[in-house]
Structure 1
Amino acid sequence: LLEGVRGRPALDRAAVADVIERVSCLVQDLPEIDELDLNPLLVWPEGARAVDARIRLAPAASPTPG
């Protein structure tokens, strides 16, 4: 589909790669992210945009009594 089908133009694969890279950096920088869902990710011949996102954080660690 990204290559273009039935006479439609190819979609912006570089924009998709950029979204994946940015999400990867976000998850790496914020280890408290337990789940991240982008749905849908719309892609055009020029550009891409996440329309909705859901992020679930890991439970906070309880302080150790001491």
Structure 2
Amino acid sequence: RSIRSYPVLAGVRGEAGVCEEALVEALLRLSQLAADFPEIAEIDINPFLAFPQREASMAVDGRIRLSS
């Protein structure tokens, strides 16, 4: 909640905020993936769609680059 864009995640202009639990879980799983596989040099997820409903949040596209 200390990031500058937190107000957008919390909801703006009368819109509901994103499901923080889903966002945190995705970041934790991504961190665990990187920790479990040290050969991962880079992970790119773009976009990650976050919605108020937990089950609606998802990564649309992703790429993992392995170290050589």
Is this a same-fold pair by TM over 0.5?
A: yes
Q: Distance in 2 between matches of 1:50 and 1:23?
A: 11
CA RMSD between the two structures: 0.7
Q: Size of the alignment, in residue pairs? A: 59
TM-score, scaled relative to structure 1: 0.85
Which residue, 19, 30, 49 being the options, matches 1:23? Answer: 30
Q: What do residues 19-53 of structure 1 show as CA deviations (whole Å, max 9, x unaligned)?
A: 00000000000000000011100001012200000
Structure 1 residue runs of 5 or longer lacking an equivalent are 60-66
3-state DSSP of counterpart to 1:36: strand
Give me the identity figure in percent.
44
- Structure with higher Rg: it is 1
TM-score normalised by structure 2 residue count: 0.83
Structure 1 counterpart of 2:45, from 38, 54, 57: 38
User: Distance between the aligned counterparts of 1:23 and 1:13, measured in 2?
Assistant: 15
Flag as ranges the 4+ runs of structure 1 deviating above 6 A.
Answer: none
- For structure 2, list consecutive stretches of 5 or more residues without a partner in the other structure: 1-7
